[in-house]
Amino acid sequence: MEFDKEKWMQMPREIYAGHGVINKLGEMCQRFGLKGRVLVITGEKTYEIAGESVVKILKKSKYDVSVIKTGMASRKNLSEIKKAGKKYDFMVGVGGGSKIDLAKKASYDLGIPFISVPTTASHDGIASPRASIKTNGTSMSMEAHEPLGIVADTEIIMNSPYRYLAAGAADVIGNITAIKDWELAHKLKNEDFSSTAYGLAKYAAQEIIENADMIKPNLEESAWIIVKSVIVSGMAMSIANSSRPASGSEHLFAHALEKKAPGKALHGEMVGVGTIMMLYLHGGDWKGIRDVLRKIGAPTTAKELGVDDEDIIWALMHAHKMRKRYTILGDRGLNKEAAENLAKITGVIGR
C-alpha cells in the first residue's frame, strides 16, 4: 500500500505571555513584517482596560490605527467589522471572548493577519483556530484561523473579574472528559485521533489541577497558569485540526444548558459542572475534579450556576443532539431517570 497520509496545522508564530508584555506588541508586528493600516477590534470597557494602550503602542510603531468598539459576537457585528475591515492590512483583537472571536473570524474571511490581545482568559478561544459566533441565540463554532501572534499580559488579565479566570480554568479542566470521549469515538467509530493532541490537552488540564492552590483572586500567578494552559489547549486543537481534544460531552452539556437557560452562567462554568457529571459516566475521579473546581471557586451545582434543577435535567437529556460528535452520551443520550440520577449522585442538583 502506498503512503497516503497528510496533515495540515496552523500555529501562532509568536506568543508573548507575562507581566507588562503589552508593550511588546509593536515590536512583534514589525517582526512579522506587517505594514500600513491596522484595525483594532475592542469593546467599550476593554478599550479602557487595554485597547487605548494598544492604540498608543501601535502608533508609536508608526502604524495607521483605527478602532471599532463593538459588542457581542453576533452575525450582525461580524458583518459590520468585515465591511469596515476591507481597507486594512491586519487586525488586532483586544478583549475577553467576543472581541477576539469577531476579529479572528472577520480577519480570516478577509484573508488578513490577526493578532490576539486577550484581556481575560475566560475560555480557550484566545488561542484556538475557531471562533464562536452567536446565530439565533445559540453559539456556533466556526472555522477561522490561528492568531499570527498572541500577546497575553498577565497584569491586565489578573485585573479582570476573577469569575472569568475561574471559568477559563474550568473550560480547560473539561479537556479531561473531552479526551476520554475522543478516545471512545476513535475506538467505537474509528474517528481520526492524534496522540500528540491528546497528550497536550491532557497536560493543559493537569497543569490547572496540579496548581489549583495557586489559582485565586488577586494573584498574578493565577493568570499565568491559566493563560499557559489555555494556549496549550489551543495548540492541541490546532494539531488535531478540530476542537475534539478540548470539547466533548461536557461541552455538549454546556451548549444544551446555554440553550435552555441562556445568559445565566459563563461558558467555562457550565463546562466545569458538565465535566463532573460526564466524568462520573466515564467512571473517572469525578469527586477529585469537583474538589478542584471548588478550590478555584468555580461553580459545581445548579444553584451556583444560577439555573434550576430542571434546566440541568433538560440539558443532560438533550446534550447529545447539540452537534454531531460521538461521546459517552452515545447516539441516544440519557433518559429522564438516568439524567436525574446522574445530577443527584454528583450533587449538582438537590442541594
Nearer to Zn ion, 21 or 254 (CB): 254
Tell me, what amino acid is at 212? A
Judged by CB under 5 A, the chain residues 119 through 158 that form the site for Zn ion are: 123
Are 348 and 310 a contacting pair, CB within 8 Å?
no
Nearer to Zn ion, 171 or 269 (CB): 171
Nearer to Zn ion, 53 or 122 (CB): 122
Report the 10 Å Cβ neighbour count for 238: 23
Question: What gap in Å lies between CA 80 and CA 176, rounded to an integer?
Answer: 38
Scanning 109-117, 118-126, 157-165, 209-217 for contacts with Zn ion by CB under 5 A, the matching segment is 118-126
Nearer to Zn ion, 58 or 172 (CB): 172
Nearer to Zn ion, 55 or 152 (CB): 152
Report the 10 Å Cβ neighbour count for 260: 17
DSSP state of 213: G
Please, what is the minimum distance in Å from the beta carbon of residue 247 to Zn ion? 6
Scanning 23-31, 70-78, 170-178, 330-338 for contacts with Zn ion by CB under 5 A, the matching segment is 170-178
* Extended beta strands in 228-273, E state: none
Question: What gap in Å lies between CA 156 and CA 35, rounded to an integer?
Answer: 26
Element (H, E) at 171: helix 162-173
- Residue 171, interface with Zn ion (CB under 5 A)? yes
Which residue bears the cell 459542572?
A: 273
Which residue has the CB atom at the shortest distance from Zn ion?
Answer: 171
Are 69 and 43 a contacting pair, CB within 8 Å?
yes
Scanning 33-41, 50-58, 166-174, 205-213 for contacts with Zn ion by CB under 5 A, the matching segment is 166-174
Please, what is the minimum distance in Å from the beta carbon of residue 93 to Zn ion? 18
Please, what is the minimum distance in Å from the beta carbon of residue 101 to Zn ion? 12
Binding-site ranges for Zn ion (CB under 5 A):
123, 171
